[in-house]
Amino acid sequence: MERDIVLNGVHIGEHSFEPEKIIDEIYERCVKPGLNFVTIRTREEIVPQHYFIEWAKYMAEHKIYFVFLYTIQHVAAGNDSQFTPETVAEMKRIAGEYFIGDMIGETGSSFACKFPGYYKNKTGKRNGDSHVILKKRESMKEAHDDYVKGVSKFIEIDKALGMPDVVSVEATGLNKYNAEAGVTIPMLELMCGSPDVLVSSLRGVARAIDSKLWGTYVAHEWYGGMRHTDTLKRKRLELAYKYAYLAGTNAFCLESGDECIESYGHTFGIDSEICEDYRKVLVDTMNYIREDFRPKGGPKVKVAFVSGLHDAWGGWGGSSVWNAFNQEAWGHNEAEHSWRIVKEIGTKRTWEDIANYGDMDLSAYPAYGMYDIVPIEAPVECLAKYDYLIFLGWNSMTDENMDKLTQYVSGGGKLLMSAAHLNCTEERGGKLELPSAEKLEKLFGVKYTGEVVRTNDGVKIRYEALNEDVLYPGTKNFICDPIYSEGYVDYAKFELCGAYETAFVSESFLNDPSDLPAIVENKIGDGIATLVTSTNYPGHPALYPLYRALVREMITASARACDVKVIGSDRLRWSVYEGDKLYLLNTDYDLPITVKIIYKNKEQLVNLDSLELKSIQL
């Protein structure tokens, strides 16, 4: 079994950048503490080329992997980059595999999430505006294309220079668009948003493009809390490293904090207790990496949420999609709010929840503890690795993706989506445009009547679903209260052409089936496609409770079928690697937890102290 490569190091240039002192800084902050990775961030002034050569020699001699940042986005007027092709070629010759490439920074947050003017400097010019067009958007596709076109200009410069790889450090879940533009190594900035969500998105993109490396850029000075002296912020730094390692990160880079902190109106020097804590986390992480054998390939994952075509929800940094702050229809709405369901993964259902079944509560985690967020653009071979695909946010459906999803289900996959995800429109608030009757019938076994019914009735779910692995809250005779009635919902009316009616809309306690299906299932080959017939996205407050229940049950079904079952506090995070290597992390700041592991019909209890990361060979 092959061991995973894991890099851990620091960022040079956050608070000061003096080319003649860089080697000394690399020695003090990287070589001396035994780290093996460096990011060098340049400024606008052009760096004399001989420095790059000297740095590359020093890195290669000390076996330190390195990458550069902002060499294109922040460069003196009249220049495309800090580098010449000759310098890049010489660094490649000197350093070989240790020279990873060039990094573009935070394009998703800057050009798809932030208010115009967010990064204005003294001249009133916004960094990078020469490469990215900000304008009123006509369609989601236009905004998507403009973004990719803008980011591609950075990448074209790097490719012309001969960079070994183009890396992105992204603060949002929009790495998939950077990959579309040509990025080959995606990285994520922690802790701008939820690590559970954004690391899952990073991992999903890395797997979709088969990236050889993917990493975590830890910007804890600026994120993870605004009160530097707060003990919980310092604990959060430790958890960020441990969670990212458990989740599969191959490269760690601490942006700052080990040498000084200069933010939020505070200044702490290298001898401060806070900076000492940052350095301790760095060294402790490196020691853990050296001692631990983490199998290559990342954690096992069987459940994936799909980031749909043109979806611009980034998980952090703004309240409008694609920077369209001058268009109210582009503000975060039910499509983007659908992603809130993902934030509930890792939390157990409450004790009164009628949709929690079995002799043990497995509701917190999917199979093997992890989920991915995978782009719809991923090849079907990538999607086929997941047992479940679940749609949440915006999607503009295409014939190509209908065919891809049909192929996925035919191969044994289980798919969940709403009629909103079938909408082909590329306009915010656009009219309902469903795929062709032929493709609808093939994937879901239904025919659209052309009618949309608006109702605040609840639903009744059948006791037996077509997907035998799931246990929905249903009865055998339908004499029961309709459930999940939370307000008005729009349902597309479908005729069944081979589909199985799993639930119907109802307002009656009696067995009085309506002619309005709420959930249908269709078996294709070895798989099952499940459709919630609402034209609302799952983030609609009246649809959310129903859709969330379906998502949670599919996650729990995957856990029931898994050969490893882990039960514990919902502060627990866990993952499994090839060779049955299990990682457990207690994210509780204060209390120890007890974890029950069930593997091959044998039970084991494991105690975890607060913040403890533990690996177990099953």
The predicted structure's pLDDT at residue 592: 98
pLDDT digits over 558-595, tens only? 999 999 999 999 999 999 999 999 999 999 999 999 99
d(CA 106, CA 177): 12
Band the pLDDT of 127: cuts 50, 70, 90: very low
For residue 226, whether the previous peptide bond is cis, meaning omega lies within 30 degrees of 0, is: no
Q: Which fold has domain 303-445+516-560?
A: Rossmann fold (3.40.50)
Residue 130 has pLDDT above 90, yes or no: no
Percent of all residues in the chain with a pLDDT value above 90, rounded to a whole number: 88
Q: How many CA atoms lie within 13 A of 374 on its CB side?
A: 27
pLDDT digits over 412-439, tens only? 999 999 999 999 999 998 899 999 999 9
Residues 6+ apart with CB under 8 A from 328: none
216: helix, coil or strand? strand
CATH no. of 7-291: 3.20.20.70
d(CA 26, CA 18): 12
What's the start-to-end Cα distance of the chain, in Å?
15
Residue 501 has pLDDT above 70, yes or no: yes
pLDDT digits over 432-488, tens only? 999 999 999 999 999 999 999 999 999 999 999 999 999 999 999 999 999 999 999
Residues 6+ apart with CB under 8 A from 483: 354, 458, 459, 460, 461, 473
Mean pLDDT of all residues belonging to the chain: 94
Residue located via tokens 């059948």:
462
d(CA 471, CA 462): 10
Q: What angle do CA 552, 538, 546 make, to 5 degrees?
A: 50
Could you state, in order of their start, the residue ranges of all structural domains in the chain? Answer: 7-291, 303-445+516-560, 564-617
* Full DSSP string of 513-536: --S-EEEEEEEETTEEEEEE-BSS
Q: How far is the CA of 591 from the CAs of 194, 196, 272, in angstroms?
A: 21, 20, 28
The predicted structure's pLDDT at residue 560: 94
Residue 122 has pLDDT above 60, yes or no: no
Q: Strands (DSSP E) along 345-426, which ranges?
A: 371-375, 388-391, 414-418
Band the pLDDT of 171: cuts 50, 70, 90: very high
Measured in degrees and rounded to the nearest 5, phi and psi for residue 88 equal: -65, -45
φ/ψ region of 23 (left if φ > 0, alpha if ψ in -120 to 50, else beta) reads alpha
Band the pLDDT of 268: cuts 50, 70, 90: very high
The predicted structure's pLDDT at residue 602: 94
For the record, the structure tokens of 405 come out as 């999803």
Q: Strands (DSSP E) along 238-395, which ranges?
A: 251-254, 261-263, 266-268, 303-307, 371-375, 388-391
Q: How far is the CA of 16 from the CAs of 12, 30, 43, 48, 168, in angstroms?
A: 8, 16, 9, 17, 22
d(CA 293, CA 34): 18
Compute the average pLDDT of residues 128-144: 70
Q: Strands (DSSP E) along 74-131, which ranges?
A: 99-105
The predicted structure's pLDDT at residue 119: 62
For the record, the structure tokens of 349 come out as 């259902």
